[in-house]
């Protein structure tokens, strides 16, 4: 991490602590003032949010984002003279990122609906979709909607499939469950938790062709069209450029060539054993592991400083300092980590008008959360020392600071070290939750892999093994350091 990034983290952490204590007074109305409109997109760079698992529209192949949507946005950008930076966030997170101005636009197989048109401006439709129902390939009981009575089906949250399933559930007396991505839905059906899945027909057909273990049992139902979206009243020049580029791709035949590449009976996935999967997945997983360790290391360092500072506040004779520490601990121990992650990445930019990159948001989340727990570890360690130790030091003429440094803390550190090691392990595992905001750590990379190959169980086994190995190695190292310095 360079000095600029470190400074940015420090400034952001300071600002957030002020917010937690109730000292931030940013005007949301002033922060949300739109920038002056541009007249051209030539030479501009736009950040585009997308889904993570919606093959064949967006998915990863050999570690790179590909698919119909990805080819379209990149070719339109080249045609119109602008560049794009793609952020793979997940469908729900991409929409939240757009509303908080973390991205300039979203292309994610998003259906154009009346409800969404109240919030976003859409491009001309670039694909006419439809919905199909599929069941496990060994299921011979469900052959149509009439067989769903009393059963549970699954659909992707916010998708056309969910809308259609909800429109007929009362007629056929079944329950609809919504999940976040296609791969998870297919696994839910194969596990028997749901009897059927409703999904967009090209996505379903692609998955079946890639051996996802399902079979379609209904004809395609008419669905909505997909569109590229920007915030209401913002980036009109980007929307116009998308429409112009799309029209030119259609006229040149390039648009149809893109569709044919992904929709005309793609080649079935080549069969490979577990070790073949391991070899193919390892580069992406190691990249994710590196980001996991980076986020963990930065978070622990910041959390340790916060824990020591607020830990001393907790045992201070000052009621004000104890109150500040109490508020900090109450906020970050009393709210879920996922809520904090969403707040720092999506909510804070709306309050301040300043975007935050995903690493900064992730480190803020982990460090402030872990710092609250470390505060209690420090407080408990200091208060566990017999008060007579402090009295003895003071009776020998030592000042408060000297007594703490030479008498109390050396004993307290021995008591606190095992808890610090445990918190370090917990923080490393908590990095997996940052996948929801698109942080490309180890769990996120695993999701990308099984979204494309549908080998969920084997991929998660590899991810779990990597976590297990790293956590145990770090625990062994921490225990050795503990024995060396706390004899």
Beta strands in 63-174 (DSSP E): 64-66, 83-88, 105-106, 120-122, 127-136, 152-156
Banded pLDDT at 224 (limits 50, 70, 90) = confident
Of 263, 285, 317, the last residue of a domain is 263
CA dihedral 182, 284, 472, 477 (to 10 degrees): -150
Specify if 23 maps to a domain.
no
pLDDT at 2 over 60: no
| Number of domains making up the chain | 3
Beta-carbon count within 10 A of 256 CB: 11
Q: Is the pLDDT of residue 11 over 50?
A: no
Note the pLDDT of residue 484.
75
Domain check: are 423 and 470 in the same one? yes
Contact yes or no for 185/156 (Cβ under 8 A)? yes
**Mean pLDDT, the chain, integer:** 85
Beta-ladder partners of 6: none
Rounded Cα distance, 44 and 235, in Å: 12
In a domain, 253, yes or no: yes
- Global pTM? 0.70
* Residue at a domain's end among 194, 224, 254: 224
Q: At what angle do helices 358-383 and 3-20 cross, to 10 degrees?
A: 60
What pLDDT score does 204 carry? 87
CATH number of the CATH domain containing 202: 3.40.190.10
**313 shares its domain with 243:** no
Q: Judge whether 287 and 465 are in contact, CB under 8 Å.
A: no
Q: Do 169 and 101 share a structural domain?
A: no
The answer to the question of residue 9 being in a domain is no
Say yes or no: 99 and 138 in one domain: no
Q: Is the pLDDT of residue 474 over 50?
A: yes
User: Residue 371 CB: number of other CB atoms within 10 A?
Assistant: 27
For 385, the domain range is 274-485
Q: Are residues 308 and 367 in the same domain?
A: yes
Residue 197: Cβ within 10 Å count: 29
Q: Is the domain of 359 the same as that of 446?
A: yes
pLDDT range class, residue 271, cuts 50, 70, 90: low
Mean pLDDT of the 415-441 span: 88
Most confident range (mean pLDDT) of 56-70, 79-93, 393-407, 433-447 is 79-93
Instruction: Identify the pLDDT of residue 25.
Output: 38
List, for residues 297-346, the tens digit of each pLDDT value.
999 999 999 999 999 899 888 899 999 999 999 999 999 999 999 999 88
Asked if residue 1 belongs to a domain, the reply is no
* C-beta separation of 445 from 313 below 8 A: no
Q: Which two tokens stand for residue 159?
A: 């998708």
pLDDT at 17 (0 to 100): 41
Kindly indicate the confidence band of residue 277, based on its pLDDT and cuts at 50, 70 and 90: confident
- For 119-155, the pLDDT digits (tens) are 999 999 999 988 999 999 999 999 999 999 999 999 9
Model confidence pLDDT, tens digit, residues 337-396: 999 999 998 888 888 878 888 899 999 999 999 999 999 999 998 888 887 777 777 777
Q: CATH number, domain at 324?
A: 1.10.3720.10
Do the Cβ atoms of 277 and 457 come closer than 8 Å? no
Q: Are residues 68 and 205 in the same domain?
A: no
* Higher pLDDT among residues 169 and 213, named by residue: 169
Residues 321 and 243 both lie in one domain: no
Phi-psi region of 367 (alpha: psi -120 to 50; beta: other; left: phi over 0): alpha
User: Is 26 within a domain?
Assistant: no
Claim to verify: residue 402 and residue 429 sit in the same structural domain: yes
One domain for residues 122 and 138 = no
CB atoms inside a 10 Å sphere around CB 26 = 15
Statement to judge: residues 297 and 236 lie in one domain? no
Does 132 share its domain with 112?
no
């Amino acid at each position: 991490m360079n000095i600029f990034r470190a400074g940015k983290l420090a400034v952001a952490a300071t600002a957030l602590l002020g917010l937690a204590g109730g000292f931030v007074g940013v005007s949301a109305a002033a922060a949300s003032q739109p920038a002056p409109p541009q007249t051209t997109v030539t030479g501009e760079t736009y950040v585009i949010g997308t889904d993570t698992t919606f093959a064949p529209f967006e998915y990863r192949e050999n570690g790179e984002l590909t698919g119909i949507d990805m080819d379209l946005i990149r070719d339109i950008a080249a045609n119109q003279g602008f560049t794009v930076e793609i952020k793979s966030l997940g469908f729900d997170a991409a929409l939240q990122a757009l509303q908080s101005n973390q991205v300039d636009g979203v292309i994610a197989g998003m259906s154009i609906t009346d409800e969404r048109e109240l919030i976003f401006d859409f491009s001309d439709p670039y694909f006419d979709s439809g919905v199909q129902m599929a069941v496990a390939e060994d299921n011979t009981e469900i052959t149509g909607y009439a067989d769903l009575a009393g059963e549970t089906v699954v659909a992707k949250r916010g998708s056309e499939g969910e809308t259609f399933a909800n429109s007929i559930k009362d007629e056929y007396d079944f329950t609809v469950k919504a999940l976040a991505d296609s791969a998870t839905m297919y696994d839910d059906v194969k596990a028997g938790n749901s009897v059927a899945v409703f999904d967009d027909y090209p996505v379903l057909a692609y998955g079946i062709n890639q051996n996802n273990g399902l079979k379609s049992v209904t004809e395609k139902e008419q669905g909505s069209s997909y569109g590229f979206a920007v915030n209401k009243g913002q980036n009109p020049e980007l929307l116009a450029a998308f429409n112009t580029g799309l029209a030119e791709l259609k006229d040149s035949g390039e648009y149809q060539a893109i569709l044919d590449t992904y929709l005309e009976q793609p080649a079935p996935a080549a069969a490979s054993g577990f070790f073949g999967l391991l070899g193919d997945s390892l580069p992406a997983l190691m990249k994710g592991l590196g980001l996991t360790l980076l986020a963990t290391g930065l978070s622990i360092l910041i959390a340790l400083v916060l824990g020591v500072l607020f830990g001393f506040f907790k045992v201070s004779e000052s009621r004000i300092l104890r109150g500040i520490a109490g508020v900090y601990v109450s906020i970050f121990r009393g709210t879920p980590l996922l809520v904090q992650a969403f707040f720092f990445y999506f909510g804070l930019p709306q309050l301040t008008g300043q975007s935050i990159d995903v690493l900064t948001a992730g480190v803020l989340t982990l460090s402030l959360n872990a710092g609250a727990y470390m505060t209690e570890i420090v407080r408990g360690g200091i208060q566990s020392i017999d008060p007579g130790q402090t009295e003895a030091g003071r009776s020998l003429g030592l000042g408060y600071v000297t007594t703490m440094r030479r008498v109390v803390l050396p004993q307290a550190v021995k008591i606190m070290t095992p808890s610090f090691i445990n918190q370090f392990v917990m923080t490393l595992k908590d990095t997996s939750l940052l996948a929801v905001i698109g942080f490309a750590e180890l769990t996120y990379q695993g999701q990308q892999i099984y979204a494309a190959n549908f080998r969920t169980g084997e991929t998660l086994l590899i991810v779990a093994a990597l976590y297990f190995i790293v956590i145990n190695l770090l625990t062994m190292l921490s225990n050795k350091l503990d024995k060396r310095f706390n004899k």
